[in-house]
Amino acid sequence: MGSLGRVTEIEQHSASFRLAYVPGVTPTKWLRVWEERLPDVRLELLQSTPSEGHGLLLTGGADAGLVRLPVDRTVLSAIPLYTETTVVVFPKDHWLGAAEAEEVTVADLAEEIVFHPQDDVLEWPDGLPGRPAFERPATTGDAIELVAANVGVLAVPQSLARLHHRRDLTYRTLADVPQSQVALAWPEAATTDLVEEFIGIVRGRTANSSRGRTAAAEQQRQPKPQTARKPQAASRTQQKPKPGQRGAGGARTGGSRTAQPKRGRKR
């Protein structure tokens, strides 16, 4: 089946494109481009936790997802999009905020209780900095509440610090620590034309790109305007009838005219 046939089949059997996304990721800019290019295919956003996002892709609950790496590359394809800065969140009256430096180091946290929530999206191969809390909070949101109570501090990607913003909290960049990578992932066995279209959008391809198969097929389906044929110009010199053909008046023409008798000169 050709590209045009696949696109037609997808649009007939799929009323929407389901996109999962994890906390901290903002798909708004890509949603606007999708609506401009594919106004007839609704993009359905499915907010999920990091673990649920992978599950939706593996079970067919979403067509693609904006997730955090790593993912299971044996069944999922993934395109890394960007890497986030890691920050440390603490109360505004904390001594870390009084320092003039824009960055905080791991050494600065040596005597601090650093929370490690169970939904932490950062990997710590060398161990979490600072002193471990007596108990791990269930979620990042729970850890933020404990930070606000001045119990400890929290290291998270900057987008999550903004997501859980509070007036009594602030954050600084945490230097030389693991960072989180956001990627577009989808089931490798289900790379549909709509998935290809969204890949093109997040990569910044134009609608006329050779990989924008859906947009190209849509243009092919548009009826081409018919141009009126120009009337053929009349021949400057009419074709002379061939010998034996009838002329315009219906008389048969001969090969040569009959010689007319010469008139004598009157005397």
pTM of the model: 0.73
The residue ranking higher by pLDDT, 142 or 13, is 142
CA atoms within 13 A on the CB side of 6: 15
Which segment, 9-18, 92-101, 217-226, 252-261, is predicted with the most confidence on average?
92-101
| CA separation for the pair 143, 149 (Å, rounded) | 10
Per-residue pLDDT for 256 more than 50? no
Task: State pLDDT tens for residues 172-230.
Answer: 999 999 999 999 999 999 999 999 999 999 999 887 764 555 544 444 444 545 544 55
The residue ranking higher by pLDDT, 101 or 220, is 101
What's the chain look like in SS3? CCHHHHHHHHHHHCCEEEEEECCCCCCHHHHHHHHHHCCCCEEEEEECCHHHHHHHHHHCCCCEEEEECCCCCCCEEEEEEEECCEEEEEECCCHHHHCCCCEECCHHHCCCEEECCCCCCCCCCCCCCCEECCCCCCCHHHHHHHHHCCCCEEEEEHHHHHHCCCCCEEEEEECCCCCCEEEEEEEHHHCCHHHHHHHHHHCCCCCCCCCCHHHHHHHHHCCCCCCCCCCCCCCCCCCCCCCCCECCCCCECCCCCCCCCCCCCCC
Phi, psi of 178 (to 5 degrees): -60, 150
pLDDT of 260 reads 52
CA neighbor of 58 nearest in space, from 45, 77, 31, 41: 77
| CA separation for the pair 181, 190 (Å, rounded) | 23
Per-residue pLDDT for 145 more than 50? yes
Per-residue pLDDT for 248 more than 60? no
Neighbours of 254 (CB within 10 A): 9
Neighbours of 192 (CB within 10 A): 20
pLDDT of 12 reads 47
Q: Domains for the chain: give ranges and CATH numbers.
A: 3-83+181-221 (3.40.190.10), 86-174 (3.40.190.10)
Per-residue pLDDT for 49 more than 70? yes
% of the chain at pLDDT higher than 70: 73
| CA separation for the pair 224, 15 (Å, rounded) | 27
| CA separation for the pair 65, 54 (Å, rounded) | 8
The total number of residues shown for the chain amounts to: 267
The residue ranking higher by pLDDT, 8 or 122, is 122
